[in-house]
Amino acid sequence: MSVSEAKKQATTQGFWQIRRMVLMAMFIALSVVGAMLKIPSPTGTVALDSAPGFLGAALLGWREGLLIAALGHLISAYSMGFPLSIPIHLIIALQMAIAAALYYILIKKTNPYVSIAVVTLYNGLAMPLSLVPMLGIGMFYAMALPLCVAAFINALIAYVCFRGLKSIV
């Protein structure tokens, strides 16, 4: 069964069906692989873990991408021992989920380059800026560049894969 058939069937049979969960599990497994591909940063949790979340959102839908991106971040943070604390990483996972949903909305309704740019700015600047009250402005300055680079690479990988897979799906 293709992804599009699973998507159509999910709308009639419910979200938690086996085929849909298997597709999400495959993207989560790709997030685990991406979580091991780190980009140098002060915390060590910046990785290529959100590309499968963005791709899952583009191919399967915003809810699936939301789950994949959040779990991908938590796996990446777990691999480094949750350096910013579990509550902070849960907040970041929620923000990554929002980023995946945003990617889905923008890639479906606008130019894909706009979606890459907006998600890069959201992930690289807005997300760390929202943590300034808890972590300080120094952490923002330290994390902004690595996060922008990682967000751009993740969004670009997702778009290139989406462009290749959307004709198959």
DSSP code per residue over 93-126? HHHHHHHHHHHHHHHHHS-HHHHHHHHHHIIIII
The values of phi and psi at residue 21, to 5°, are: -65, -35
Contacts with 48 (C-beta within 8 Å, 6 or more apart), sequence order: 34, 35, 37, 39, 150, 153, 154, 157
Q: Is the pTM of the predicted complex or chain greater than 0.85?
A: yes
Condensed to tens digits (0 to 9), the pLDDT of residues 106-156 reads 999 999 999 999 999 999 999 999 999 999 999 999 999 999 999 999 999
Condensed to tens digits (0 to 9), the pLDDT of residues 3-43 reads 666 666 555 567 778 888 998 999 999 999 998 998 998 88
pLDDT score recorded for residue 4: 67
Q: Break the chain into its structural domains and give their ranges.
A: 3-165
Look up the CATH number of domain 3-165. Answer: 1.10.1760.20
d(CA 112, CA 104): 10
Q: What is the mean pLDDT of residues 73-88?
A: 91
